[in-house]
Amino acid sequence: MIYLIDSSDNKGNKCMEEKKMSMKQIIAEEERKEEERLAIVLSHIQAGVTFVDWKTAYIGQEVSIGEGTTIGPCVILEGNTKIGRDCNIGHNTKIVDSVIDDGVNIQCSVILESTIGSRTKVGPFAYLRPGSHIGRDAKVGDFVEVKNSTMGDGAKASHLTYIGDADVGDGVNLGCGVVFVNYNGSEKNRSTVEEAAFIGCNTNLIAPVKVGKGAYVAAGTTITKDVPSGALCIGRAKDMIIPDWVEKRGILKKKK
Protein backbone atom coordinates (compact mmCIF):
# COMPACT_ATOMS: atom_id res chain seq x y z
CA MET A 1 0.00 0.00 0.00
CA ILE A 2 1.23 3.50 -0.86
CA TYR A 3 1.08 6.05 1.98
CA LEU A 4 1.82 9.76 1.44
CA ILE A 5 3.79 11.50 4.18
CA ASP A 6 5.17 15.02 4.67
CA SER A 7 8.86 15.18 3.95
CA SER A 8 11.65 17.61 2.97
CA ASP A 9 14.24 17.48 0.22
CA ASN A 10 17.93 18.15 0.76
CA LYS A 11 17.29 21.90 0.34
CA GLY A 12 14.72 22.01 3.12
CA ASN A 13 11.73 22.33 0.78
CA LYS A 14 8.57 20.56 1.85
CA CYS A 15 7.31 17.83 -0.45
CA MET A 16 5.24 14.66 -0.42
CA GLU A 17 7.08 11.36 -0.28
CA GLU A 18 5.63 8.02 -1.24
CA LYS A 19 6.26 5.37 1.37
CA LYS A 20 5.13 1.79 1.18
CA MET A 21 3.43 0.78 4.43
CA SER A 22 1.39 -2.16 5.55
CA MET A 23 -2.10 -1.68 6.95
CA LYS A 24 -0.77 -2.28 10.46
CA GLN A 25 1.87 0.37 9.98
CA ILE A 26 -0.70 2.87 8.73
CA ILE A 27 -2.96 2.22 11.71
CA ALA A 28 -0.02 2.57 14.10
CA GLU A 29 1.01 5.86 12.49
CA GLU A 30 -2.53 7.28 12.66
CA GLU A 31 -2.90 6.18 16.28
CA ARG A 32 0.37 7.91 17.13
CA LYS A 33 -0.85 11.17 15.58
CA GLU A 34 -4.19 10.82 17.38
CA GLU A 35 -2.45 10.40 20.72
CA GLU A 36 -0.38 13.53 20.10
CA ARG A 37 -3.50 15.51 19.17
CA LEU A 38 -5.44 14.41 22.24
CA ALA A 39 -2.45 15.11 24.49
CA ILE A 40 -2.54 18.75 23.32
CA VAL A 41 -6.27 18.95 24.03
CA LEU A 42 -5.79 17.45 27.50
CA SER A 43 -3.11 20.00 28.34
CA HIS A 44 -5.61 22.80 27.59
CA ILE A 45 -8.29 21.09 29.70
CA GLN A 46 -5.85 21.00 32.61
CA ALA A 47 -5.29 24.75 32.08
CA GLY A 48 -8.99 25.52 32.51
CA VAL A 49 -10.34 25.30 28.95
CA THR A 50 -13.66 23.52 28.38
CA PHE A 51 -14.17 21.26 25.36
CA VAL A 52 -17.71 20.27 24.37
CA ASP A 53 -16.29 17.21 22.59
CA TRP A 54 -12.58 16.92 23.24
CA LYS A 55 -12.10 14.10 20.72
CA THR A 56 -13.18 16.26 17.75
CA ALA A 57 -11.05 19.36 18.46
CA TYR A 58 -7.86 19.97 16.44
CA ILE A 59 -5.46 22.29 18.26
CA GLY A 60 -1.99 23.14 16.95
CA GLN A 61 1.07 22.90 19.18
CA GLU A 62 1.72 26.66 19.11
CA VAL A 63 -1.87 27.66 19.97
CA SER A 64 -2.60 29.30 23.33
CA ILE A 65 -6.09 29.39 24.89
CA GLY A 66 -7.11 31.41 27.93
CA GLU A 67 -8.78 30.00 31.01
CA GLY A 68 -12.57 29.87 30.97
CA THR A 69 -12.85 29.57 27.19
CA THR A 70 -15.19 26.97 25.68
CA ILE A 71 -14.26 25.12 22.49
CA GLY A 72 -17.10 23.53 20.50
CA PRO A 73 -17.06 20.34 18.42
CA CYS A 74 -15.01 20.19 15.20
CA VAL A 75 -13.04 23.37 15.94
CA ILE A 76 -9.64 23.80 14.23
CA LEU A 77 -7.06 26.16 15.73
CA GLU A 78 -3.78 26.36 13.82
CA GLY A 79 -0.51 28.25 13.62
CA ASN A 80 0.38 31.06 15.99
CA THR A 81 -3.20 31.54 17.20
CA LYS A 82 -3.93 33.10 20.57
CA ILE A 83 -7.38 32.83 22.15
CA GLY A 84 -8.15 34.97 25.19
CA ARG A 85 -10.04 34.17 28.38
CA ASP A 86 -13.77 33.44 28.62
CA CYS A 87 -14.29 33.13 24.86
CA ASN A 88 -16.82 30.88 23.15
CA ILE A 89 -15.48 29.27 19.98
CA GLY A 90 -18.48 27.53 18.43
CA HIS A 91 -18.58 24.34 16.40
CA ASN A 92 -17.05 24.11 12.91
CA THR A 93 -14.92 27.22 13.42
CA LYS A 94 -11.43 27.44 11.91
CA ILE A 95 -8.90 30.00 13.16
CA VAL A 96 -5.38 30.31 11.75
CA ASP A 97 -2.56 32.66 12.86
CA SER A 98 -4.99 35.05 14.57
CA VAL A 99 -5.35 36.84 17.91
CA ILE A 100 -8.72 36.71 19.67
CA ASP A 101 -9.14 38.90 22.77
CA ASP A 102 -11.11 38.07 25.92
CA GLY A 103 -14.84 37.40 25.88
CA VAL A 104 -15.21 36.96 22.12
CA ASN A 105 -18.05 34.80 20.75
CA ILE A 106 -17.40 33.09 17.41
CA GLN A 107 -19.89 30.78 15.70
CA CYS A 108 -19.25 28.59 12.63
CA SER A 109 -16.73 30.95 11.03
CA VAL A 110 -13.32 31.05 9.35
CA ILE A 111 -10.70 33.53 10.59
CA LEU A 112 -7.29 33.82 8.90
CA GLU A 113 -4.38 36.04 9.97
CA SER A 114 -6.65 38.55 11.70
CA THR A 115 -7.32 40.11 15.10
CA ILE A 116 -10.59 40.45 17.03
CA GLY A 117 -11.12 42.77 19.99
CA SER A 118 -12.70 41.83 23.29
CA ARG A 119 -16.42 41.04 23.57
CA THR A 120 -16.95 41.07 19.81
CA LYS A 121 -19.41 38.67 18.19
CA VAL A 122 -18.57 36.87 14.95
CA GLY A 123 -20.78 34.65 12.83
CA PRO A 124 -22.39 32.38 12.11
CA PHE A 125 -20.79 31.81 8.71
CA ALA A 126 -18.53 34.86 8.72
CA TYR A 127 -15.22 34.92 6.84
CA LEU A 128 -12.30 37.07 8.02
CA ARG A 129 -9.56 37.00 5.43
CA PRO A 130 -5.93 37.99 6.10
CA GLY A 131 -5.30 41.52 7.33
CA SER A 132 -8.67 42.02 9.03
CA HIS A 133 -8.70 43.84 12.37
CA ILE A 134 -11.96 44.03 14.30
CA GLY A 135 -12.33 46.30 17.34
CA ARG A 136 -14.00 45.74 20.70
CA ASP A 137 -17.74 45.22 21.20
CA ALA A 138 -18.19 44.94 17.44
CA LYS A 139 -20.32 42.57 15.39
CA VAL A 140 -19.46 40.65 12.23
CA GLY A 141 -22.65 38.73 11.54
CA ASP A 142 -23.85 35.96 9.29
CA PHE A 143 -22.48 35.80 5.74
CA VAL A 144 -20.22 38.82 6.26
CA GLU A 145 -16.80 38.76 4.61
CA VAL A 146 -13.98 41.05 5.73
CA LYS A 147 -10.74 41.35 3.79
CA ASN A 148 -7.71 43.51 4.61
CA SER A 149 -9.93 45.94 6.53
CA THR A 150 -10.40 47.49 9.95
CA MET A 151 -13.62 47.86 11.93
CA GLY A 152 -13.61 50.15 14.95
CA ASP A 153 -15.02 49.61 18.42
CA GLY A 154 -18.77 49.05 18.39
CA ALA A 155 -18.98 48.86 14.57
CA LYS A 156 -21.59 46.46 13.22
CA ALA A 157 -22.13 44.52 10.01
CA SER A 158 -24.91 42.18 10.97
CA HIS A 159 -25.45 40.23 7.76
CA LEU A 160 -24.71 39.76 4.06
CA THR A 161 -21.99 42.38 3.70
CA TYR A 162 -18.60 42.53 1.95
CA ILE A 163 -15.96 44.76 3.54
CA GLY A 164 -12.88 44.77 1.33
CA ASP A 165 -9.91 47.16 1.64
CA ALA A 166 -11.81 49.52 3.95
CA ASP A 167 -11.40 51.39 7.21
CA VAL A 168 -14.66 51.49 9.16
CA GLY A 169 -14.76 53.77 12.20
CA ASP A 170 -16.13 53.34 15.71
CA GLY A 171 -19.87 52.89 16.01
CA VAL A 172 -20.54 52.62 12.28
CA ASN A 173 -23.61 50.60 11.24
CA LEU A 174 -23.41 48.73 7.93
CA GLY A 175 -26.81 47.54 6.74
CA CYS A 176 -27.67 44.29 5.01
CA GLY A 177 -26.19 43.94 1.53
CA VAL A 178 -23.55 46.67 1.80
CA VAL A 179 -20.66 46.15 -0.62
CA PHE A 180 -17.30 47.92 -0.63
CA VAL A 181 -16.49 47.82 -4.34
CA ASN A 182 -12.70 47.76 -4.09
CA TYR A 183 -11.60 46.39 -7.48
CA ASN A 184 -12.00 48.18 -10.81
CA GLY A 185 -10.60 45.40 -12.97
CA SER A 186 -6.96 46.45 -12.80
CA GLU A 187 -6.27 47.72 -9.27
CA LYS A 188 -7.72 47.71 -5.77
CA ASN A 189 -8.58 50.87 -3.85
CA ARG A 190 -9.47 51.64 -0.23
CA SER A 191 -12.52 53.37 1.19
CA THR A 192 -13.09 55.01 4.56
CA VAL A 193 -16.24 55.30 6.65
CA GLU A 194 -15.68 57.56 9.63
CA GLU A 195 -17.12 57.05 13.09
CA ALA A 196 -20.86 56.97 13.81
CA ALA A 197 -21.84 56.98 10.13
CA PHE A 198 -24.91 55.00 9.03
CA ILE A 199 -24.76 53.01 5.78
CA GLY A 200 -28.20 51.78 4.66
CA CYS A 201 -29.03 48.41 3.13
CA ASN A 202 -27.91 47.56 -0.41
CA THR A 203 -25.38 50.39 -0.61
CA ASN A 204 -22.39 50.16 -2.94
CA LEU A 205 -19.28 52.17 -2.07
CA ILE A 206 -17.20 52.54 -5.24
CA ALA A 207 -13.61 52.90 -4.03
CA PRO A 208 -11.87 55.14 -3.39
CA VAL A 209 -14.50 57.10 -1.45
CA LYS A 210 -14.80 58.60 2.03
CA VAL A 211 -17.96 58.85 4.12
CA GLY A 212 -17.57 61.48 6.80
CA LYS A 213 -18.28 61.33 10.51
CA GLY A 214 -21.96 60.92 11.35
CA ALA A 215 -23.06 60.91 7.70
CA TYR A 216 -26.21 59.05 6.64
CA VAL A 217 -26.34 57.00 3.43
CA ALA A 218 -29.86 56.00 2.39
CA ALA A 219 -30.63 52.40 1.44
CA GLY A 220 -30.11 51.51 -2.20
CA THR A 221 -27.49 54.20 -2.86
CA THR A 222 -24.36 53.81 -4.98
CA ILE A 223 -21.64 56.13 -3.67
CA THR A 224 -19.14 57.43 -6.23
CA LYS A 225 -17.88 60.58 -4.47
CA ASP A 226 -17.02 61.62 -0.93
CA VAL A 227 -19.87 62.28 1.52
CA PRO A 228 -19.25 65.15 4.00
CA SER A 229 -19.66 64.68 7.74
CA GLY A 230 -23.27 64.88 8.88
CA ALA A 231 -24.63 64.88 5.32
CA LEU A 232 -27.35 62.74 3.75
CA CYS A 233 -26.42 60.83 0.60
CA ILE A 234 -29.24 59.33 -1.43
CA GLY A 235 -28.94 57.95 -4.95
CA ARG A 236 -32.11 56.11 -5.90
CA ALA A 237 -34.23 56.22 -9.03
CA LYS A 238 -37.52 58.01 -8.45
CA ASP A 239 -40.50 55.73 -7.82
CA MET A 240 -43.26 55.68 -10.45
CA ILE A 241 -46.63 54.19 -9.54
CA ILE A 242 -49.20 53.38 -12.27
CA PRO A 243 -52.65 52.64 -10.80
CA ASP A 244 -54.54 49.56 -12.06
CA TRP A 245 -51.60 48.56 -14.28
CA VAL A 246 -51.73 44.89 -13.23
CA GLU A 247 -55.45 44.52 -13.98
CA LYS A 248 -55.19 46.28 -17.32
CA ARG A 249 -52.25 44.16 -18.46
CA GLY A 250 -53.67 40.95 -17.04
CA ILE A 251 -50.13 39.97 -16.31
CA LEU A 252 -50.89 37.91 -13.21
CA LYS A 253 -53.82 35.99 -14.64
CA LYS A 254 -52.93 32.37 -15.17
CA LYS A 255 -53.93 30.78 -18.43
CA LYS A 256 -56.22 27.78 -18.04
Per-residue pLDDT tens over the stretch 97-108? 999 999 999 999
Per-residue pLDDT tens over the stretch 46-80? 999 999 999 999 999 999 999 999 999 999 999 99
Per-residue pLDDT tens over the stretch 189-213? 999 999 999 999 999 999 999 999 9
Average pLDDT, the chain: 92
Q: What is the pTM of this model?
A: 0.87
Domains and CATH numbers, the chain: 23-126 (2.160.10.10), 149-235 (2.160.10.10)
187-194 own/partner pairs: CB under 8 Å, 24+ apart: 188/164, 189/165, 190/165, 190/166, 191/165, 191/166, 191/167, 192/166, 192/167, 193/166, 193/167, 193/168, 193/169, 194/169, 194/229
Parallel, antiparallel or unpaired: strands 2-8 and 14-20: antiparallel
Nearest to 179 by CA among 165, 169, 196: 165
Q: Which of 44, 91, 133, 159 is catalytic?
A: 159
Per-residue pLDDT tens over the stretch 207-234? 999 999 999 999 999 999 999 999 999 9
Active site annotation includes 44: no
